Amino acid sequence: MRAQVLERPGPVATGEPMRLRDVPDPAPGAGELLLRVAACAVCRTDLQLVEGDLPAHRLPTIPGHQVVGRVEAVGAGVAGWSPGDRAAVGWLAGTCGTCAACRAGRENLCREARFTAWDRDGGFAERMTVRADVALAVPDGFDDLDAAPLLCGGVIGYRSLLVSGIRPGGRLGLYGFGASALLAIQVARHWGCEVHVATRSPRERARALELGAASVGGYDDPPPAPLDAAVTFAPVGSVVVAALRALERGGTVAINAIHLDGIPAFPYDDLWWERGLRSVANSTVADARAFLALAAEIPVRTAIDVRPLAEGADALRRLATGAGEGTAVLVP
């Protein structure tokens, strides 16, 4: 089969760390599904893996962790899935299932957790395998192309809203307005929240207003009134501090980033009055199922840029420079 293979991380602007290769077809092991990939959305985490911001867990590897496909074969011991079923794959590739975190439904914190494209091959390919216990059913209301961007950016954005503690009708700040925030604002508006968006991009500000933002501005511009909660999507520590300063007493900033450049020093007064900072670490299978059901109910809409698998490296370059319109979705 053909796949985009990362052999050695490096900058996408000046090199080709990921290349299209012929590789052996995978086969499902016990408890696994073999999928024929129909669509795989490109995520900023893919860029961070390819460029080495996230240290490689295995090389070579196939990136891609927002995958929709059809089941071609099922491994031994699999129940509930059959050839021909539509299945989706997200960031979480598997957990131990027995630790305290897993038993409490917090498998995103499992120390033995494994992640798609980081610990096992992902979906920038014609086929891939996935553990059946983390594979997801896709609501009928979404086609393959529109469902793919929901599987990481949408799910982690939903979890970020939960971690922030925002309640229906509350005043919410979104700092950064890329693919994940574009989906999160639709959930927040569905909950009746008053949403204020901070971003440097004039194009993103216009898009936020179209989606119902009450105000837009730059990262250091204070919102019209203190925020009950905020989510930061930009992987920049100074943005976290700006969001913290915009909070009402008792509010929380949820940091939606797997990689952050560091948080600069700030006065304790910015944190006092029981304001809080919380990181958002991965997501659970329950998060993914709940978000997909809610996304179908709203319904959440995605903006996509469909590209052939062969243009995977170019899609990452466009993501790095902000040149793309919508989330790139690779189609074998």
Residue 293 lies in a domain: no
Helix (H, G, I), strand (E, B) or coil at 206: helix
Q: Does one domain contain both 164 and 112?
A: no
Residue 98 lies in a domain: yes
Helix (H, G, I), strand (E, B) or coil at 82: coil
Tokens 């900023």 label which residue?
Answer: 44
Structure tokens at 332: 């074998």
Q: Does one domain contain both 6 and 135?
A: yes
Whether the Cβ atoms of residue 187 and residue 211 lie closer than 8 Å to each other: no
Domain holding 47, by residue range, is 2-141+299-331
Q: What is the pLDDT of residues 103-125, one digit of tens each?
A: 999 999 999 999 999 999 999 99
Whether the Cβ atoms of residue 197 and residue 216 lie closer than 8 Å to each other: yes
Q: Does one domain contain both 176 and 123?
A: no
Rounded CA gap, 181 and 194, in Å? 14
Q: Does one domain contain both 229 and 308?
A: no
Structure tokens at 132: 């059946």
Beta carbons within 8 Å of 110's beta carbon, 6+ residues apart: 95, 96, 99, 101, 102
Helix (H, G, I), strand (E, B) or coil at 209: helix
Residue 324: pLDDT above 80?
no
Exposure of 291 in the CB half-sphere (CA atoms within 13 A): 29
Helix (H, G, I), strand (E, B) or coil at 182: helix
Residue 246 lies in a domain: yes
pLDDT band (50, 70, 90) for residue 261: confident
Q: What is the pLDDT of residues 3-23, one digit of tens each?
A: 999 999 999 988 889 999 999
E strands, 11-125, in order? 18-22, 32-41, 67-74, 86-89, 92-94, 114-115
CATH of the domain at 117: 3.90.180.10
15 C-beta neighbours (distance < 10 Å), count: 12
Rounded CA gap, 174 and 196, in Å? 6
For the chain, the domain total comes to 2
Residue 20's beta-bridge partner residues? 4
Q: Does one domain contain both 170 and 122?
A: no
Q: Is the dihedral of CA 178, 183, 186, 190 positive or negative?
A: negative
Q: What is the pLDDT of residues 167-208, one digit of tens each?
A: 999 999 999 998 899 999 999 999 999 999 999 999 999 999
Residue 206 lies in a domain: yes
Residue 294 lies in a domain: no
CATH of the domain at 213: 3.40.50.720
Residue 256 lies in a domain: yes
Q: Does one domain contain both 125 and 161?
A: no
Q: Does one domain contain both 6 and 73?
A: yes
Residue 271 lies in a domain: yes
Q: Does one domain contain both 132 and 46?
A: yes
pLDDT of 205 reads 96
Q: Does one domain contain both 124 and 248?
A: no
Residue 287 lies in a domain: no
Structure tokens at 44: 């900023």
Average pLDDT, integer, range 43-56:
93
Residue 132 DSSP symbol = T
pTM, two decimal places: 0.93
